[in-house]
Amino acid sequence: MSEPMTQSEGAGEPTRRDFLYIATGMAGVVGAGSFAWPFIDQMRPDASTLALASIDVDVGNLEPGMSLTVKWRGKPVFIRNRTEEEVAEAQEVPIAELKDPIARNANVDGTAEATDLARSAGEGLENWIVMIGSCTHLGCVPLGQAGEFGGWFCPCHGSHYDTAGRIRKGPAPENLPVPPFAFTSDTVITIG
């Protein structure tokens, strides 16, 4: 036979036992949280990564036809001052011939077509192109001014990009992405 319930147990009022259960449970939660916090905290980016959230690059010495590679957020970024011929060649490519018709430019609408203008620094600055230099196939770093289309060539698996960084041939599925950037003066680009 079971023990008779006291009046406070029958009325639904908390007992000393209920208090001990709740206090023990809360102590366990606090203990688990203090044990887990160092593991959670170590997943945050360190100060050096946060410091590189944006970088300024002086491109004043880049003549037409010259390139510069900088590091931003641990990735190579290609900056190229294209020649008039390279710009004209990229502008002549019909969108229908492109393997990836999306611009992949963080500075324009996400659905923008991969025209040369949508891949460049914009109106009046069409000669400037800034791209993350990681092949969209497996992340290799393509070689500049190489390949069948005079842009970038990834020798690892044979992806060919044109002078606007658009994938034209090979296994890469997408154009080289354009990071957020802006000219903050005539000769300085801020990336990020």
Q: Between the CA of residue 169 and those of 72, 89, 90, 123, what are the distances in Å? A: 27, 16, 15, 27
| CA nearest to 176, candidates 92, 90, 55 | 90
Residue 157 annotated among the catalytic residues of the structure = yes
Question: What stretch of H or E contains 26?
Answer: helix 16-41
| CA nearest to 58, candidates 182, 190, 181 | 190
Which band of pLDDT confidence, cut at 50, 70 and 90, is reported for residue 1? low
Do 70 and 149 sit in the same domain of this protein?
yes
Mean pLDDT (whole number) for 70-88: 93
Radius of gyration (C-alpha) of the chain in whole angstroms: 28
Q: Is the dihedral of CA 110, 114, 117, 120 positive or negative?
A: positive
- For residues 123-143, one letter each, b for 16 or more C-beta atoms within 10 angstroms of the residue's C-beta and e for the rest, the string is eeebbbbbbbbbbbbeebbbe
Asked if the model's pLDDT at residue 9 lies above 80, the reply is no
Do 34 and 117 sit in the same domain of this protein?
no
Identify whether 66 is part of a domain.
yes
For residue 176, the enclosing domain spans 50-191
Do 23 and 61 sit in the same domain of this protein?
no
Do 180 and 116 sit in the same domain of this protein?
yes
- The CATH number covering residue 94 comes to 2.102.10.10
pLDDT digits (tens, 9 = 90+) for 112-168: 999 999 999 889 899 999 999 999 998 889 999 888 998 999 998 899 999 999 999
Identify whether 78 is part of a domain.
yes
Do 79 and 130 sit in the same domain of this protein?
yes
Contact 137/172 with Cβ under 8 angstroms?
A: yes
Share of the chain above pLDDT 70, in %: 91
Q: Provide the number of structural domains found in the chain.
A: 2
pLDDT digits (tens, 9 = 90+) for 16-40: 888 888 989 899 888 888 888 888 8
Q: How many CB atoms lie within 10 A of CB 172?
A: 23
Mean pLDDT (whole number) for 94-122: 92
Which band of pLDDT confidence, cut at 50, 70 and 90, is reported for residue 74? confident
Identify whether 2 is part of a domain.
no
Question: What stretch of H or E contains 57?
Answer: strand 55-58
Mean pLDDT (whole number) for 83-89: 94
Token pair for residue 34?
């203090």
Question: Which residue in 84, 157, 173, 184 is the catalytic one?
Answer: 157
Mean pLDDT (whole number) for 35-62: 80
Please report the pLDDT score of residue 88 as a whole number. 93
Q: Strand, helix or coil at 130?
A: strand
Please report the pLDDT score of residue 48 as a whole number. 65
Mean pLDDT (whole number) for 97-114: 92
Share of the chain above pLDDT 90, in %: 60
Greatest alpha-carbon pair distance for the chain in Å reads 97
pTM score: 0.71
Token pair for residue 122?
């914009």
Identify whether 185 is part of a domain.
yes
Identify whether 1 is part of a domain.
no
Task: Please provide residue 188's backbone torsions phi and psi, each rounded to the nearest 5 degrees.
Answer: -120, 130
Pairing assessment for the beta strands 143-144 and 128-132 based on DSSP bridges: unpaired
